[in-house]
Structures are given as C-alpha cells and as structure tokens.
Copies of this chain bind each other. A is one copy, B any other.
Amino acid sequence: MHNEARDARHRLRQDEIITAARRCFRQYGFHAASMAHLASEAQLSVGQIYRYFSNKDAIIEEMIKRIIDRRIEQMIDTSSSHHLPQLLAWRHVLNEDDEALMLEVAAEATRNPRVALMMQEADTRIFDRACENVKQEYPGFSNEKIRSCVEVLAVLVEGTAYRRLTPQKASAETLYPLYQQIHQLLFHSEDS
C-alpha cells in the first residue's frame, strides 16, 4: 500500500475514534467511559484503538486539540472583537458538544493533573492567538494592556458559555449595549 493511502486511512481511523469518544464522553463522562465502551462505539476492537492512542488521556488530548483549533478558526472568522458584544448578548455558540465536552474537561481537571495540564496548554494557545489578533488591530497597545484586555474578554466569553446552562436572566437587547460599552472601555481608552 502507498504511504499516502496508509496515512489517509490512519487519519480516517483517528477521526472515527475521536467521534466515538466524544459520544461516549458526552453520555457517561470521562471516568465512566471505558476503552471498551469507546471501541464498541467506534466498531473497532480495543486492540485497534490502542494502535492509534496509547490510553484514554491521549484521546482526551487529541479531542481538546481539535476543539481549540476550531475555536481559533472561529475567532479569526468573527474577526474581530466588533462582533463580540453581539455574541455575548445573544449567547452565540459555535458547537454545543464542544462546550459540553470542555466543561467535562474542566471538571476532570480539578482531580486529574494530566488533564489540568492539557487544559492549561490549550488555554495558553488560544490566549496567545487572541493577543496576536488584538495586536494587529490595535498596534499601539502595549503587550501588558493587550493581555489584560484579552483576559477580561476570556472571562466574559467563558462566563457566558457557562451561563448558557441556565436560562438568561435579562434580555439580549438590554445586555447588548452593556457589552458594547464594556468593549469600548477595553479598546478605546487613552492610555494605550
């Protein structure tokens, strides 16, 4: 078999395993989802799974990597921050399963240091990309100012994602101008 064909098959299998793992994790959580569950969901043998991932943590890591890739892509698409007040007020979500799985990652991170480290690396990666985007749009801002603005944005985005689990307590129409003002406050101050 040619190398390309083998690589393509390898990627396809990996995709299938990640898709199956996501379904299992959503249904049972990380702890209760065993490699046997995952294999059965992917219609593979446990042995076949181990050819692609050495353990469940490796699967979680690859799943997080793909979620962060999607989020970075979305961050560039919705370029940029101009849309943010709207996304916050209307609680826009790119991918509901990604959000739920990242909550599972967060809960697991509180008891599993390896998953905590994966979450840290993922956060650093997306945070640095957000800072680069802001730097391009506001070249006059100092790095320190950019990092503090992006940290506040991250708090707003992640707090909004978390609160999507319960009904919104104020209308999007009343929240929108507040988020606009906050955005303005962060990105139009004189001490840039």
A 120-168 contacts with B by CB, 8 A:
120, 123-124, 127, 144-145, 147-152, 154-160, 162-163, 165-168
Considering the complex, give the chain B residue whose CB is closest to the CB of A131: B169
Asked whether, in the complex, the Cβ of A29 is within 8 Å of the Cβ of B107, the reply is: yes
A168 to chain B, nearest CB (A): 7
Asked whether, in the complex, the Cβ of B111 is within 8 Å of the Cβ of A27, the reply is: yes
Give per-residue flags for A79-90: 1 if the beta carbon is below 8 A from chain B beta carbons, else 0.
Answer: 000000000100
Considering the complex, give the chain B residue whose CB is closest to the CB of A159: B159
Give per-residue flags for A153-192: 1 if the beta carbon is below 8 A from chain B beta carbons, else 0.
Answer: 0111111101101111111001100110110011000000
Considering the complex, give the chain B residue whose CB is closest to the CB of A174: B148
Assembly CA distance A24 to B151 (angstroms): 33
A183 to chain B, nearest CB (A): 11
Q: Give the residues in chain B near A88, CB-CB below 8 Å.
A: 155
